[in-house]
Structures are given as C-alpha cells and as structure tokens.
Amino acid sequence: MADEQEPLIHIDEDWKSQVEKEREALDDEVENVSEEGEERPELSLFEYHVSGIAANCTIALGLVGQEGEQVMVDIPMARQMIDTLIMLKEKTEGNLSEGEAANLDEAVTELERVFIIREQQVSEMQMNQPPDATPPGIIQ
C-alpha cells in the first residue's frame, strides 16, 4: 500500500483573475457614470486636487455639513483656500488643458461669489453677538 499515490487535484485559479479583471472594468465604468446615467469624464490629477481644495473651502464656508449638526463657518480658512486656488491659476497659466483651466476658473469664480455673501453674513451676525462670543470670522 505504500505504493499508492495520492490523487492529483487540479485547482483552476484562472477564473479568479478573470473575475477580478471583469470587476475592475465594471468599477471603471461605474465611476465614470453620474447619478443621472450620464458618463462623466475622468478627472486629471490636477482637477482632482482643485476639487479637493474647493471642497475644503465649501466646508469652511459652512455650505457642507451633516444633518442635525451645527455648521461652522471659518472665513479666514475659506479665504486661504480661495487664495490657494488663485495662486494655482496664476502659476499654471498656459500649462493647463482647456477643461482644467475652465474647471479652475469656475471654482474660483463661484467660491469668491459665495465667500463675499458669507463674509457679509458673518459680519452682520458678529455685530449682533456679545463681544466675548467667538473669534472673528468664525461662527458656530
């Protein structure tokens, strides 16, 4: 009985790699489709960076917050984010694709517009608060 050989078992691992390739292809398709079913263009690394800065600015302006939580407005931080986008615009002038330049211009224009409105609101609210309430430019 010592001469008995164990049965050979062949495990087909190729299907796993095929499934993984299909999953990655599907993930790529899903990432490029908006909620309305329209295909979204892929963001360049630059556009991704700009959208991150813009998102932080919207948070500092108090435009984004979780439901039920008090929104914080941080005017100095918002100004810094907008200034960073303006600096990027100046430093990259002539080196961006049309889409990247348009995206950056739109972000700066819209954020500056909202900043002016929010700054006025903060100023009005601070005039109505007691002097020891909060630091200038920050509203809770």
What are the tens digits of pLDDT across the range 41-94? 677 888 989 999 999 999 999 888 767 777 788 999 999 999 999 999 999 999
- Quick one: how many helices (H) and strands (E) in the chain? 4, 2
32 and 22 Cβ atoms separated by less than 8 Å: no
Sole residue written with tokens 């062949």: 10
Mean pLDDT over 24-35 rounds to: 56
More confident residue, 51 or 7: 51
Give the pLDDT band (50/70/90) at residue 117: very high
Torsion sign over Cα 23, 29, 30, 31: positive
Sole residue written with tokens 């813009």: 54
- So where are the chain's domains? 21-130
- Entry pTM: 0.62
DSSP state letter for 74? E
Question: Residue 124 is encoded by which pair of tokens?
Answer: 């009005």
Residue 73 is inside which H or E element, if any? strand 73-74
Asked if pLDDT for residue 125 goes beyond 60, the answer is yes
Query: What span, in angstroms and rounded, lies between the C-alpha atoms of 108 and 137?
Result: 20
Beta partners for 39? 33
User: Which pLDDT score, from 0 to 100, does residue 92 have?
Assistant: 94
More confident residue, 109 or 21: 109
Query: What span, in angstroms and rounded, lies between the C-alpha atoms of 119 and 105?
Result: 21
